[in-house]
Amino acid sequence: MSEATPTGGAPNEVTPPNPDAIFALHSAAMREASEPRDGIKPTPVSYLIMCFFWVLFGGWYMGYYSGEFRANGLNERAVGGPLAAAPPQNPMVLGKEIFGPCMQCHQETGLGVPGSYPPLVGSEYVLGDKRRLVAILLNGITGDLVVKGKTYNSQMPSWKLREDEEIAAVLTYIRASWGNSADSVPTNLVTTIRKELGDKGGWDAKSLAEFAESKPAAVTPVEAQATK
């Protein structure tokens, strides 16, 4: 196309008496090609075969990952049998992972938030009696709580729904991080205490202290067995 030169709309320039003036007015419609048509290039057969196999693959994929088409078949891979049991994990690694949600309150550094969330570093609850520590985790605690000489009053949620192994791992982790160095918490201690607590609700400082003092004899051998 050549350079555009605007031919203005001044009357003398337009519309000489020409029967085709209507076409001139529609110059845009005039200059275009006819309506598009379909070409007839053949489609390679190999392409069609590839498409065919792709559809076959889709069918196989559908069947393989169907979860047997059940309303409750949530896991597409469980069709062939139950998932293999996960291998046991190093409690420090697992514990660091489980600690993720705790960071929201106790912070990544374990130092807590002054005035709201107590520290885990150097805390007598963390480093002290393991039985009491597990009890806090399992049932949660509310109300005034004195940690390292400061009083906190907020709500620590219950972690009852976690696996025993996970609770043991996270406690092992917080007892041995940021300069804390206490021994690990065995899984079967959590199992025992969970049984002991049954349906009990959350703690407050008083009921927790009572619980900690009422050391039943049955627990000691478990602890001894685990630490040897």
* Site for ligand HEC, rule CB under 6 A: 101-102, 104-106, 117-120, 123, 125-126, 133, 136-137, 141-143, 145, 147, 152-157, 159, 170, 174
Instruction: List all residues 6 or more positions away from 116 whose beta carbon is below 8 Å from its beta carbon.
Output: 105, 152, 154
Residue closest to ligand HEC, measured at CB: 102
Query: How many angstroms separate the Cα of 154 from the Cα of each of 13, 110, 129, 143, 209?
Result: 87, 17, 22, 6, 18
CB of residue 160 vs ligand HEC: minimum separation in angstroms? 11
Spatial distance between the Cα atoms of 127 and 110, rounded to a whole number of angstroms: 13
CB of residue 103 vs ligand HEC: minimum separation in angstroms? 8
Q: What angle do CA 69, 83, 187 make, to 5 degrees?
A: 135
Which of another protein, ligand HEC, none interacts with 138 (beta carbon under 5 to 8 A by kind)?
none
Binding of another protein by 53 (CB under 8 A): no
Instruction: List all residues 6 or more positions away from 190 whose beta carbon is below 8 Å from its beta carbon.
Output: 134, 138, 164, 165, 167, 168
Pick between residue 86 and residue 224 the one whose CB is nearest to another protein.
Answer: 86
Which of ligand HEC, another protein, none interacts with 8 (beta carbon under 5 to 8 A by kind)?
another protein
Find the binding residues for another protein in span 132-191 (CB under 8 A): 140, 154-155, 157-158, 161-162
Which of ligand HEC, another protein, none interacts with 224 (beta carbon under 5 to 8 A by kind)?
none
Number of residues located near another protein, criterion CB under 8 A: 79
Query: How many angstroms separate the Cα of 185 from the Cα of each of 39, 120, 174, 177, 214?
Result: 76, 16, 10, 14, 20
Find the binding residues for another protein in span 69-108 (CB under 8 A): 69-76, 78, 83, 96-104, 108
Strand partners, 117: 113
Which of ligand HEC, another protein, none interacts with 22 (beta carbon under 5 to 8 A by kind)?
another protein
